[in-house]
A and B are shown apart, each in its own frame.
Chain A
Amino acid sequence: MSRILEFQNIKKSFSGREVLKGISFEVNKGDIVFILGTSGTGKSVLLKNLVGLLRPDSGAIIWHDKDISQYSEEQYLEVRKNCCLVFQQPALFDSMTLYENIAFGLRRLTNLNEEELDKQVRDSLKAVDLKEEILSLKPAAISYGMQKRLSIARSLCLNPEILLFDEPTTGLDPVSTQAINQLIFRLSRKYDTTSIVVSHDMHCALDIADYIIVLDKGKIVEQGDVDKIKCSEVPLVKDFLQEVLDANS
């Protein structure tokens, strides 16, 4: 297993309030990493630091043996092509058709011709279980759940090395939730795509994760593989586990 990404003591404050208080962890190629934590602990901020939407105050983010945290906006293009973030909100461009939404990144980050691009758009749409009929619609015409899946397709079509999901299943029905989790699992096993998934859902983390990180108030309180998490003594982790037990019984 080769290490693909490493966070080294990442700190980030907003107007004097420290949100990330020194986060360090490593990600291996092809792994599914779940980041769990209560609302407002800085999970989204952590992901945004990786793709350069926010910059850490201190610490390093090592990607392929290079510290990317000090990259310029141009240098970040290379990172964003290979690490795609699926946002917490669908964030579709509402003046464009769904087709153009998916093709947006392809047109700017790759050199595909129209034919290849078209195939790529349709393939990624199929991967998230959406029908081709909707491609000519605008985002407002489809449901929230479909929008979320379309935003996954928009990142998926770039064939990134690392996919970052910010709460991909929040607000979805149980069936779609299951489908998305299976999709993440399939991508990881079939194409060796690395996934980092921010979530509240311990149940599905235990199901598909290779590695689980639990954040609380900007700090990592527990990290390890599924077996380690199951035997954890940390109160917050126990609370999460208890909820899974309650749901099962």
Chain B
Amino acid sequence: MQILRSFVDDLGLYFLFLKEVFSTFCKSPPEKKYIYSQVLKVFQSSLLTTSFSGFFVGAIMTIQFAMQIKMFGASGYLGGLSTSGTVREVGPLLIAFLLSGKVGAYTSAELGSMKVSEQIDAIRCLGANPIQEIILPRFIGIILASFFLLVYGILFAFYGGVLMSYIFADVNTLEYVRHVPTIMTGISLFSGVFKSIVFAFAIASLCTFYGYKASGGAKAVGKAVVSTSVACMFSIVILDWFTTLIVDVINRWL
């Protein structure tokens, strides 16, 4: 009961927070240079990890498919199947998990420690709006950077797939690529991009929310980080299911 109540409380506070962020964005948007520097910071710090994880996601998918497909002698379709699966589902999901751990945890810890050390209060006292100067650049920066990182990670997944199919399934690059357009249709591509945007938004909003909400000493910072990780994982899984439904509806409608 207690857990349910605090969950509902948090949910309410989260939407109030979103409302405040949006109204501040409309009234007084942050300076562009602050957003750029956030995008750059997130991008730099996560580029390497994203490349690696993207590469291995693609590799795993290809090996999995290769084992099944060989039995039917349809190795030619390996590239198409594995790329499509990576782009539309597994790529965004796994890379979003990784980013929620890396970018999400970092940002909520950063904001949480600013909050408990009274820096956020000091910003207000010195005539600035913390939502405009601290939250919004991170919020927008993380959405942009995560989106680019997700797309970039998916590209690496493709390379991973190419390499693994060559090593483990004796499918050369040309053969691998040939059937990609046949199986990976526009809707797969749309699904991947759509999911990336939704996941990026979830990570950005949750980590800034929990960081900004922290109060009461160093322990609160740890709590904010844990809450961010848990909330990100949960919401990414749920949003994955939800976006799959939407993509399915759109697919049937087309």
Contacts and interface: CB of A to CB of B under 8 A. Distances in A.
Interface of A: 48, 51-53, 73, 77, 80-81, 84-85, 87-94, 104-105, 108-109, 151, 154
Contacts of B121: 48, 53, 87, 91
Residue among B117, B124, B127, B128 having the largest count of chain A Cβ atoms under 10 Å = B127
B47 to A, nearest CB: 21
Most buried by A among B117, B118, B119, B125: B125
Interface of B: 117-119, 121-129
Contacts of A105: 125-127
A65 to B, nearest CB: 23
Contacts of A85: 125
14 contacts: A48-B121, A53-B124, A53-B125, A81-B127, A85-B125, A89-B117, A89-B118, A90-B117, A91-B121, A94-B119, A104-B128, A105-B127, A108-B126, A109-B127
B20 to A, nearest CB: 11
B128 A84 contact: no
A151 B126 CA distance: 12
- 6 cross-chain pairs, A with B, having the tightest CB-CB distances, nearest first: A105-B126, A108-B127, A109-B127, A91-B118, A91-B122, A87-B118
A105 B125 CA distance: 8
B119 to A, nearest CB: 5
B122 A80 contact: no
A104 B126 CA distance: 7
A91 B126 contact: no
Contacts of A77: 127
Contacts of A84: 125
A48 B123 CA distance: 13
B118 A80 contact: no
Contacts of A81: 127
Nearest to B124: A53
A180 to B, nearest CB: 18
Contact of A91 (B117, B127, B128, B129): B117
A104 B125 CA distance: 11
A154 B126 contact: yes
A93 B119 contact: yes
A92 B127 CA distance: 15
A148 B119 CA distance: 13
B126 A109 contact: yes
A51 B125 contact: yes
B36 to A, nearest CB: 15
A194 to B, nearest CB: 17
A154 B127 CA distance: 12
A51 B119 CA distance: 15
A48 B126 CA distance: 13
A88 B125 contact: no
Contacts of A151: 122
